[in-house]
Chain A
């Protein structure tokens, strides 16, 4: 549909376009340049940060993926931060996805339009609370409050096979898990709004057909809505994952700042954006280059995830229009 409108879209007549005044052409060039700026910036990010990080890559070689991080001794292995980034992002996704997809389905399938709008506004409020305010609240209010709960949970499951190694001691208010929870709050708005967009494209006639066959609402959701919007929801979740990986300041404040690799989710840890934010100011030489290198890795990961996610969302939107 959009292809049609774009082709039909008014264009100046042929004879006019042959003697276009210079101002008209100049404006087109200006607009093109502004558009190209996006590509230029993305390439420049890769080149400039890559260049700054080159001494880390060349000095450490494959040791950049080792687990020993000790700037004082000149050891810059990034595995602990990669691990922390993965763990916190996964915790955030596990918490945020059911909540976000549930809210999206509530908005599209259950409540009437006039109720949906205030709920959307409230979810959007979450996105306006700045990262640093989540961090301030996280470290001064939330972390001390959950510390007791963590401690109780930790001593409760101590010695139990799987639970013990996940939630057992050592526990700390500032930990992987706290960072994951805060990140979950922060990515909920984007996952909700994208899932809602996707779920809203399910043709009403398909749903009505299922209801006419006597299906309950749950059956309509499972049999019609979810199969139809699967691809788009996966895209939305991936976008949330990308956000969770790159979110910096909140994580920097509540993650506990300890470069360790452990299965204990309630123990203090570190992730890539947090270590950059906390250490970059004092870093020089290979140390700075290593932190810059972490930024390069973060850039590469988030670009890959975003490209896959956007492609999934776009494909699902195109299919919905075609259907």
Chain B
């Protein structure tokens, strides 16, 4: 408060009209701030939709990837679509239960203990680890010993999803009222039972929404996949052995290709990827709206 006072005294001595105009200018600048962001966003979305829509079709999503020199209306990105769905699904199956369990430890068991606070803090820090480092990490501990595979890619994506799920689930567990827990304990339930049958269902909407957002981000990641699945043009339905491909890796390859056809397929793949990510985001919003029982 004292600091607020000194800041004001200075300004109040200036003439009234100048203070008002400065305020106007500042307000206009604040209103312009999000516009500066909107322009590139609109530009990107417009370009991706305009260039991607002309390529996109059912056969584009399912056909094999042709050589880069061929025009955009030949072939498609089938193996990449399959790879992205498989690898992201596997990463989700591995990371989400662990993330939810970790959050249960943080909020239901750890409370304010130093270990729980350290884990919570480090989960925050882990969300800031660059995705390329996760790729190098999985390359060192897995690919060097067992070779490239969809599984390795799923490990890398899982490492990115895990801390995000821990943090968002932890936030949701905080919203569950303690009276629910106390009521169940009073009925003689064990802590595990209370957590699994009372607390988790109560927080389910928020948890699912957080998970969907984490998947949406992970599905678009390229860097962790470069050195874990490699990028091939052939279809590889086996997740557990052999190099594979994914939508983001395919876009990365096509973006640096000098052929119009490859670039066209890149735009089509980009539109597909954005559509997947937006669908997941909208699903997250719907789930939040549907289950918003305890949030405020």
1/0 per residue, CB under 8 A from B, across A273-303: the answer is: 1001100110000000000100100110011
Is A264 in the interface zone, CB < 8 Å from B?
no
Is A204 in the interface zone, CB < 8 Å from B?
no
Report the 10 A-B pairs with minimum CB-CB distance, sorted nearest first.
Answer: A246-B130, A130-B220, A102-B33, A223-B7, A34-B101, A27-B192, A306-B128, A31-B105, A35-B105, A216-B23
Q: Which residues of B (102-119) have their CB < 8 Å from a CB of A?
A: 102, 104-106, 108-112, 116, 118-119
Task: Tell me which of A49, A127, A239 contacts B128 (CB under 8 A).
Answer: A239
Is A160 in the interface zone, CB < 8 Å from B?
no
Task: Tell me which of A12, A124, A188, A227 contacts B7 (CB under 8 A).
Answer: A227
A34 to B106, CA, bound (A): 10
A276, B41: Cβ atoms under 8 Å? Answer: no
Q: Which residues of A (2-61) have their CB < 8 Å from a CB of B?
A: 2-3, 5-13, 16, 20-21, 23-24, 26-28, 30-39, 41-42, 44-45, 48-49, 51-52
A102, B29: Cβ atoms under 8 Å? Answer: yes
Least CB distance from B51 to A in Å reads: 9
A128, B34: Cβ atoms under 8 Å? Answer: no
Least CB distance from A182 to B in Å reads: 9
Task: Tell me which of B106, B130, B174, B277 contacts A245 (CB under 8 A).
Answer: B130
A128 to B284, CA, bound (A): 12
Question: B54-62, B64-72, B131-139, B203-211: which one contacts chain A?
Answer: B131-139
Show the binding face of A for B, using Cβ within 8 Å.
2-3, 5-13, 16, 20-21, 23-24, 26-28, 30-39, 41-42, 44-45, 48-49, 51-52, 98-100, 102-103, 105-106, 109-110, 119, 122-137, 139-141, 185, 188, 206, 209-210, 213-219, 221-224, 227, 239, 242-243, 245-249, 252-253, 273, 276-277, 280-281, 292, 295, 298-299, 302-303, 305-307, 309-310, 314
A136, B255: Cβ atoms under 8 Å? Answer: yes
Provide the residues of chain A in CB contact with B178, threshold 8 Å. Answer: 5, 8-10
Task: Tell me which of A6, A136, A298 contacts B270 (CB under 8 A).
Answer: A136
Provide the residues of chain B in CB contact with A7, threshold 8 Å. Answer: 111-112
A140, B140: Cβ atoms under 8 Å? Answer: no
Task: Tell me which of B3, B129, B255 contacts A139 (CB under 8 A).
Answer: B255
A273, B132: Cβ atoms under 8 Å? Answer: yes
A26 to B182, CA, bound (A): 21
Q: Find the B residue at minimum CB distance from A246.
A: B130
Q: A12-B190, A48-B137 are in contact. List 15 more A-B contacts (CB 8 A).
A: A9-B178, A10-B182, A23-B190, A28-B191, A31-B102, A35-B119, A41-B162, A122-B34, A128-B217, A130-B273, A214-B12, A218-B19, A219-B11, A223-B11, A276-B132
**From A102, A221, A249, A295, residue with most partner B Cβ within 10 Å:** A249
A38, B123: Cβ atoms under 8 Å? Answer: yes
1/0 per residue, CB under 8 A from A, across B1-20: the answer is: 10111011001100000011
Least CB distance from A126 to B in Å reads: 5
A206, B125: Cβ atoms under 8 Å? Answer: no
Least CB distance from A118 to B in Å reads: 10
Is B92 in the interface zone, CB < 8 Å from A?
no
Task: Tell me which of B31, B40, B191, B248 contacts A132 (CB under 8 A).
Answer: B248
Least CB distance from B21 to A in Å reads: 10
B102, A133: Cβ atoms under 8 Å? Answer: no
Q: How many of B's residues come within 8 Å of A, CB to CB?
A: 106
A246, B248: Cβ atoms under 8 Å? Answer: no
B125, A213: Cβ atoms under 8 Å? Answer: no
Least CB distance from B100 to A in Å reads: 8
1/0 per residue, CB under 8 A from A, across B252-291: the answer is: 1011100000010011001001100110010000000000
B252, A253: Cβ atoms under 8 Å? Answer: yes
Provide the residues of chain A in CB contact with B227, threshold 8 Å. Answer: 280-281
Provide the residues of chain A in CB contact with B219, threshold 8 Å. Answer: 130
Is B223 in the interface zone, CB < 8 Å from A?
yes
Provide the residues of chain A in CB contact with B32, threshold 8 Å. Answer: 102
A105, B30: Cβ atoms under 8 Å? Answer: yes
**From B27, B32, B110, B255, residue with most partner A Cβ within 10 Å:** B255
Least CB distance from A84 to B in Å reads: 15
Task: Tell me which of A37, A245, A303 contacts B98 (CB under 8 A).
Answer: A37
B105, A106: Cβ atoms under 8 Å? Answer: no
Is B53 in the interface zone, CB < 8 Å from A?
no
Can you list 28 A-B contacts (CB < 8 A)? A5-B178, A6-B111, A10-B182, A30-B101, A31-B108, A32-B105, A38-B123, A39-B122, A49-B133, A49-B136, A99-B34, A106-B34, A110-B31, A128-B278, A132-B220, A133-B273, A134-B44, A185-B40, A216-B20, A221-B26, A248-B131, A249-B223, A253-B255, A277-B223, A295-B132, A302-B133, A303-B129, A306-B125
Task: Tell me which of B4, B163, B193 contacts A227 (CB under 8 A).
Answer: B4
A124 to B288, CA, bound (A): 15
Task: Tell me which of B5, B185, B230, B256 contacts A12 (CB under 8 A).
Answer: B185
Least CB distance from B166 to A in Å reads: 7
Task: Tell me which of A23, A37, A103, A242 contacts B37 (CB under 8 A).
Answer: A103
Task: Tell me which of B8, B128, B133 contacts A305 (CB under 8 A).
Answer: B128
A315 to B35, CA, bound (A): 31
Q: Find the B residue at minimum CB distance from A104.
A: B33
Least CB distance from A241 to B in Å reads: 10
Least CB distance from B198 to A in Å reads: 10
